[in-house]
A = this chain, B = another copy of it.
């Protein structure tokens, strides 16, 4: 089955290329990123990569989205507190990891006079916020939060303090940071501030 697929075909090569792309970004940054280097790292010919991704920006965008999706799963614990805590803790773990740092570095490279990253890089973040919205709509359906709560406003309030510490003040983030952010977000939501 899957394990019988030769390298160069099937989902295994896709996963291997995406993982190698994140590693390349992590070690050498966005400006130095080439499909040649990724191909060499995976041990495939670069045409194997070009068969699936038309250019480096398409590959980078997929690699970022894949990294975020794999490492920040969307929880469904049955309570809004449980879900927000789990989301915030996954974000803290991811943002402290080499692949999280690599994704952030690409995202922020416009700000430093580097060649601009693909617009689709930002989509990895927006997409992740969008995928987390059901956490809020389920809580509204369960009667835990006021009806009319804006899911995106709540999720942004949840994650903002974590990004802020990593990017601006350079503080360490941990489970305590995550839990405090979750408590602020749920308190504001219960007070009707996202209505």
Count identical subunits in the complex.
Answer: 2
Interface SS of chain A: helix, strand, loop or mixed?
helix
Contact A112 B168 (CB under 8 A): no
In whole Å, how far is A120's beta carbon from the nearest beta carbon of chain B? Answer: 12
The reply on A94 being an interface residue by CB < 8 A is: no
Contact B157 A112 (CB under 8 A): no
Contact partner of A160 (CB less than 8 A), chosen from B104, B107, B164, is: B164
* Cβ-closest chain B residue relative to A102: B111
Q: Interface range on chain A: under 10, 10 to 19, 20 to 34, or 35 or more?
A: 35 or more
Contact partner of A30 (CB less than 8 A), chosen from B28, B112, B191, is: B112
Q: Mark A154-195, 1 if CB is under 8 A from B, else 0.
A: 001101110111011110000000001001100110010100
The reply on A8 being an interface residue by CB < 8 A is: no
Residues of chain B with a CB closer than 8 A to A180's CB: 153, 193
Contact partner of A184 (CB less than 8 A), chosen from B28, B170, B184, is: B184
The residues of A with any CB-CB pair to B shorter than 8 Å are: 28-32, 101, 104-105, 107-109, 111-114, 122, 125-126, 129, 153, 156-157, 159-161, 163-165, 167-170, 180, 183-184, 187-188, 191, 193
Contact partner of A125 (CB less than 8 A), chosen from B129, B168, B183, is: B168
Residues of chain B with a CB closer than 8 A to A113's CB: 28-32, 105, 109, 114
Residues of chain B with a CB closer than 8 A to A191's CB: 187
* Cβ-closest chain B residue relative to A125: B168
In whole Å, how far is A193's beta carbon from the nearest beta carbon of chain B? Answer: 6
